Structure 1
């Protein structure tokens, strides 16, 4: 299969240059409001949490400030938990699940952990409902030195002081039907490669760190989330999205070598959640709840290790 057969931008077999990126960008238009749907929710939390601006996207600085939410009673003697959402802006429950956790559950951990939450790492992509940033770069492959993605660079700067102090980092994501209908075809076209169709798993799953796996940690999260939504089964190859399933609902990627957000700290307990919002068995509210439950389970397990 060639690029020509599945994506309208670019020349089959040839990676995109500046002209193709510009053409792609011209097709992107806001479909929802970061200010109305995200910033307004963050603003409503200011009476209970410390909210700070940790950067602004050059695309439109006034429109896309980047916000972090912190425990008001920050205590340097306590462990640190980092929660990130919206690294891929189109993954809605990553953003609103993080905000739900702060609103509904963060107070439960007062005096036990310091919370640092970046609920919408990629606000431009949130508005466009896209995986990439404005430069057709995937922020979740860009968490490395000299990052080409403003979103990734800003988050790395934010977390630099806690890289070696974090106990938990949970990065909230989704796998959607549009991964196959739009985003993976676009990726193949951008990189000048042939597109190989895949399958979308129906249900929640987790990505563990292949270089430092924590099977019991992931088991605890899966068991908690299974009470609110279904867990994705392995396919007939024993895989989820082409990766081996090591235990129910758990696959592994090498976080740091791949430049994934989940590798942005040296926390001993790290994971990436993946919710399936297009399932007929899950509502948007269930997806948000599943994300928040996953965060709680991750913290509870880590604190229970003594």
Structure 2
């Protein structure tokens, strides 16, 4: 099914300008609170982690949400140059709830088991405005997860990249926590097509967990270890009739690959040896919110257990 313009803002075939972007921003609303639901959980982890503010988002004249959002990260104690460093990011797309709360649950429940082997740094909510408005973009109609590039125009992406650079450590592994939701197809992909003045081509949403690896890395075994770990918590997304998931060829059960650096994706910016983007499906009738969070934790522990076995 092809639809020229399935979004009520803009003119079909024409890219949005400032007027359309403002119209889009003004029709968004705040639906939950970063300061009430996320920040207190981060503060509660100060007893076991070094919690630090790595930046602040500035949205001048923002009619929806706050003008300022502080950004926080957590570091394991006993940080050492002799240990490899692992980066966990969540909430790059703020609406993907288990990315945020799965990262925090890992910090609460499992990170201590790995801190002797790894330095671990966790940025649990990269896009707090997106978290509050349940949105894929930031207020400037930019997708942070397509802007992990030099001189990034997305504040959220630039802040994380600078934070990692300031650590002064090479990153061995990066686990970026995401979800694929029904609203991807109902709202966000139509909005993307409208914003960019292109034809919207309807797709499908897979029912289950999958990962996105890097086409430039030899990491099939890592992805398999993650899938095997997560299947203990939730079901794995099946391939469609074309042996694909969201339009990409399945390389093994529950795994597709993207050129991460070329696409400006978060999991590609560190030049790490091991990386993955997790994709939980929270709209499935087969899962609960808690299971989605635990699936994210299982993905992280599956990756770390695999690396430790090498």
Give the TM-score normalised by the residue count of structure 2: 0.96
1:228-239 superposed matches below 5 A: 228-239=233-244
* Counterpart for residue 135 of structure 2: 130
* Counterpart for residue 57 of structure 2: 57
SS in 2 for 1:50: strand
* Counterpart for residue 13 of structure 2: 13
Q: CA deviation at 1:256?
A: 0.6
SS in 1 for 2:201: coil
Q: CA deviation at 1:3?
A: 4.3
Q: CA deviation at 1:114?
A: 0.5
In 1, Cα distance between equivalents of 2:134 and 2:211: 22
Give the direction of change, closer, same or farther, for the CA distance of 1:63–1:148 in structure 2 (3 Å limit). closer
* Counterpart for residue 48 of structure 1: 48
SS in 2 for 1:57: strand
Is 1:199 matched up with 2:204? Answer: yes
* Counterpart for residue 141 of structure 1: 146
Unmatched segments (≥5 aa) in structure 1: none
SS in 1 for 2:87: strand
**Superposed CA offset, 1:41-67 (max 9, x none):** 000001111000011010277741000
Is 1:34 matched up with 2:34? Answer: yes
In 2, Cα distance between equivalents of 1:275 and 1:131: 15
| Structure 1 stretch displaced more, 33-42 or 296-305 | 296-305
User: Do the aligned residues in 2 keep the contact of 1:54 with 1:68 (CA within 8 Å)?
Assistant: yes
User: Do the aligned residues in 2 keep the contact of 1:163 with 1:264 (CA within 8 Å)?
Assistant: no
In 2, Cα distance between equivalents of 1:162 and 1:53: 13
In 2, Cα distance between equivalents of 1:132 and 1:62: 16
SS in 1 for 2:235: coil
Give the direction of change, closer, same or farther, for the CA distance of 1:163–1:189 in structure 2 (3 Å limit). farther
SS in 2 for 1:64: strand
Is 1:74 matched up with 2:79? Answer: yes
| Structure 1 stretch displaced more, 244-253 or 205-214 | 205-214
SS in 1 for 2:37: helix
SS in 1 for 2:38: helix
1:253-264 superposed matches below 5 A: 253-264=258-269
Unmatched segments (≥5 aa) in structure 2: 61-65
Q: CA deviation at 1:167?
A: 1.2
* Counterpart for residue 63 of structure 2: none
Q: CA deviation at 1:238?
A: 0.2
In 2, Cα distance between equivalents of 1:62 and 1:29: 14
Give the direction of change, closer, same or farther, for the CA distance of 1:144–1:94 in structure 2 (3 Å limit). same
SS in 1 for 2:283: coil
User: Do the aligned residues in 2 keep the contact of 1:138 with 1:149 (CA within 8 Å)?
Assistant: yes
In 1, Cα distance between equivalents of 2:283 and 2:116: 38
User: Do the aligned residues in 2 keep the contact of 1:3 with 1:11 (CA within 8 Å)?
Assistant: no
State the aligned residue count: 304
Q: CA deviation at 1:14?
A: 0.1
In 2, Cα distance between equivalents of 1:167 and 1:211: 15
Choose which of 166, 190, 197 in structure 1 pairs with 2:195.
190
